[in-house]
Each structure stands twice: as structure tokens, then as C-alpha cells.
Amino acid sequence: MTFQFILFVMHVVSYIAIVCSAFIVSIIALPINCPSSSAEWCQTKEIAAACGVTKQCTSFVWKNIDNDRVNFTIYYETLCADCRQFIITQVWFAYQAIADIVNLTFIPYGNAHEVYRPETQLYQFYCQHGVDECYGNLIHTCVIAFYPDTRQHMPFIYCMDSTFGDIETVARQCAKNASIDFDKVANCTNSPMGNQLQHVYAVQTENTKPAQASVPFVTLNGNGTDEIQDMAQTNLIRLLCETYKGPNPPARCKKTL
Ligand SMILES: *[C@@H]1O[C@H](CO)[C@@H](O)[C@H](O)[C@H]1NC(C)=O
Ligand SMILES: *[C@@H]1O[C@H](CO)[C@@H](O)[C@H](O)[C@H]1NC(C)=O
Ligand SMILES: *[C@@H]1O[C@H](CO)[C@@H](O)[C@H](O)[C@H]1NC(C)=O
Ligand SMILES: *[C@@H]1O[C@H](CO)[C@@H](O)[C@H](O)[C@H]1NC(C)=O
Ligand SMILES: *[C@@H]1O[C@H](CO)[C@@H](O)[C@H](O)[C@H]1NC(C)=O
């Protein structure tokens, strides 16, 4: 056997090994194949990952969907019965059905008012339903600050709004259920930071909600007409679907329109 022949055999063997391992890898990865047509690459997160274009899809394709999201903002206070009812029905249903096309923002303050106390350098809040409501508003404020993703704070808000009882007891239970660290939240509610965050919502509410408007008060892409209040409380999914002008409306919207 010549030296060249041995070299040739080794070459063939390694070639076969490479082909086999590529085959095995492709079998293991079988559920996710990168389609040949690039038009399909950003269809789902799994496909994008299989094609190695997650970054490109995120910045050029999915980002557009994010920019097209309908802005929907809810001005509410924690102990108002109509607010709770609205959040645990219309808002919760919309969140579950069409979260992808909405940018949901909660502003827990409502009809409260505030007075700055120079002696403590803190704002003092007065709430329609008393000190318990102020505490509830502050808890929601801190939860939203620490868990800004709607998928984190929406289940907590839903839980609190659908559970009656002592505010702190309910908040602790709901924090546990929604994987929220209540100690962190409690620290915030006792701190100047929590006070400041609540003040920001006070200013935002005063700048947006007409003083005489009742709560819940909502804005749709910044617009809060009477017509929008009515439509939001009657069929929020339909209102959001009709307002959404971006690509790929969710299947649920086609059913509604
Ligand atoms: C969602 O709404 C918040 C508050 O209005 C805003 O700061 C943010 O830019 C919005 N995000 C998108 C993607 O529209
Ligand atoms: C927390 O979750 C448990 C189990 O899912 C449920 O039984 C309980 O009612 C929830 N508590 C609250 C306050 O929602
Ligand atoms: C809460 O604050 C205390 C005192 O400032 C600190 O020791 C503790 O680590 C904080 N807890 C959390 C969960 O942030
Ligand atoms: C939603 O709000 C964000 C931030 O204010 C804004 O950039 C975006 O254009 C708004 N979207 C719509 C559809 O109005
Ligand atoms: C608010 O909604 C009303 C009624 O739908 C519409 O006529 C008006 O143009 C909207 N205003 C803004 C600023 O979008």
C-alpha cells in the first residue's frame, strides 16, 4: 500500500464521517428546517432561529409590528368597582386574545389628588376610596415599575382586581401567584422612589383625564373621546382590532370584524 493510498482512504473516511454527522444533526434538528424562500424566514421565532436570522427579523420585520401596536392606556384606581370590572373582563379578554397588537399601559391613580409636603419632601395622596386605595395604587405603581413587561404585571393586576379582602394580604397572595417579589414591591411602597413614581402618574392623569371624567378612563392612541370610552367598555377587542393598521392581524380580529 502506498502512502498516497493510505492518505486517500483517510480522506474518504473523514468525508464519510462529516456527511454522517451532518445527516445526524439534520435528523436531530428535523422539526425546524430553514425554508428555501427567504420570504418565510421571519414567519415564526423558531423558523428565524433555524435560519440564523433572529436579529434581522427582530430589527426589520417584527419591529414594525411593535411600532404598529395600538396604544391603549387605562386610568383607574384600585378600589373602584367599575375599574375592577372593566379590567377583569374587557381588558383581560383583550390581553388574552390579541396581546400582540396592543401596547397596554396601566395608570393607577384615577380620581386621587396630591399635596406636596415640604416637611417630609414627599407627596401626600388622597384617594376616592380612602387610604386602602392609596396603598393599592402604590402597590400597582411599584409592581409596574419593577415588572414593566405587561406579561408580568397584567396577571398580578388581574388577580388583585378579582380578589376581595385586605389589600396587603391579597397583594401578597397575588404576588406569589404572578411570580412577583413582594418584598421588593413593599420596599418600593415605603420609599421616596415609590412616592415619586406615584407622583408621575398623578401628573400624567391630571394632564390627560378631564377632571370631571369618571374612571376607568381610557385613551386609544392618545385619544379619549366619549365614543372611545363607550366602545372600550362594550367590546374592547373589536375596538382594538378596528384600530390596528399593521400587518398580520391576529385570527381573533378576523372573527370580530
Ligand atoms: C407603549 O406605551 C408607552 C406608554 O404610552 C410608550 O412609552 C411606549 O413607547 C409604547 N410602545 C410602543 C411600542 O408603542
Ligand atoms: C393563586 O393561585 C391558586 C392556584 O392557581 C388559586 O387557587 C388561587 O385562587 C390564586 N390566588 C389568588 C389570590 O388569585
Ligand atoms: C428591602 O430593603 C431593605 C432595607 O433597605 C434591604 O435590606 C432589603 O434587601 C430590601 N429587599 C429587597 C427584596 O429589595
Ligand atoms: C404609540 O406610542 C408611541 C410612544 O408614544 C408612539 O411612538 C407610537 O407612534 C404610538 N403608536 C400609535 C399607533 O399611535
Ligand atoms: C379622536 O377620535 C375622534 C372620534 O373617533 C376623531 O374624530 C378625532 O379625529 C380623534 N382625534 C385624534 C387626535 O386622533
Q: Whose CA is nearest to atom 14 of ligand 3?
A: 184
14 pLDDT higher than 90: no
Phi-psi map region of 162: left, alpha, beta (phi>0 left; psi -120 to 50 alpha): alpha
Is 39 domain-assigned?
A: no
Q: What is the pLDDT of residue 20?
A: 46
Is 147 domain-assigned?
A: yes
**Centre of ligand 1 from the C-alpha of residue 11, in Å:** 59
Amino acid at 161: D
Beta strands in the chain (DSSP E): 70-76, 102-108, 113-117, 122-126, 217-220
**Centre of ligand 4 from the C-alpha of residue 240, in Å:** 14
Residue 97: domain span: 70-241
CATH number of the domain encompassing residue 134: 3.40.30.10
What would the mean pLDDT of 50-57 be, rounded to a whole number?
82
Where is average pLDDT lowest: 10-24, 55-69, 199-213?
10-24
Residue 108 DSSP SS3: strand
Is 113 domain-assigned?
A: yes
d(CA 123, CA 116): 4
Q: What is the pLDDT of residue 215?
A: 98
Minimum-distance ligand 4 atom for the alpha carbon of 71: 1
**Centre of ligand 2 from the C-alpha of residue 136, in Å:** 19
Q: What is the pLDDT of residue 52?
A: 85
CB 201 within 8 A of CB 128: no
Residue-averaged pLDDT of the chain: 89
Task: Using the structure block, give the residue that is written with the C-alpha cell 366602545.
Answer: 231
Is 216 domain-assigned?
A: yes
234 pLDDT higher than 90: yes
Q: What is the pLDDT of residue 29?
A: 54
Is any ligand 2 atom within 6 A of the Cβ of residue 163? yes
Is 25 domain-assigned?
A: no
How wide is the angle at C-alpha 113 spanned by C-alphas 219 and 212, nearest 5°? Answer: 50
Q: What is the pLDDT of residue 55?
A: 75
Q: In a mutational test of the pocket of ligand 2, which residue from 173, 176, 180, 182 has the highest number of ligand atoms less than 8 Å from its CB? A: 173
Q: Whose CA is nearest to atom 4 of ligand 4?
A: 71
Q: What is the pLDDT of residue 102?
A: 97
Domain count across the chain: 1
154 pLDDT higher than 70: yes
131 pLDDT higher than 90: yes
Is 129 domain-assigned?
A: yes
Share of the chain above pLDDT 90, in %: 71
Is 64 domain-assigned?
A: no
73-96: pLDDT as tens digits: 999 999 999 999 999 999 999 999
Q: Pick the closest to residue 104 from 131, 121, 86 (CA basis).
A: 86
Q: In a mutational test of the pocket of ligand 3, which residue from 143, 172, 187 has the highest number of ligand atoms less than 8 Å from its CB? A: 187
Is any ligand 2 atom within 6 A of the Cβ of residue 172? no
Is 23 domain-assigned?
A: no
Measure Cα distances from 234 to 19, 65, 147, 191, 247 in Å.
61, 26, 29, 39, 25
**Centre of ligand 1 from the C-alpha of residue 58, in Å:** 17
d(CA 98, CA 65): 13
Minimum-distance ligand 2 atom for the alpha carbon of 177: 1
Minimum-distance ligand 5 atom for the alpha carbon of 221: 14
Band the pLDDT of 72: cuts 50, 70, 90: very high
Q: Whose CA is nearest to atom 8 of ligand 5?
A: 223
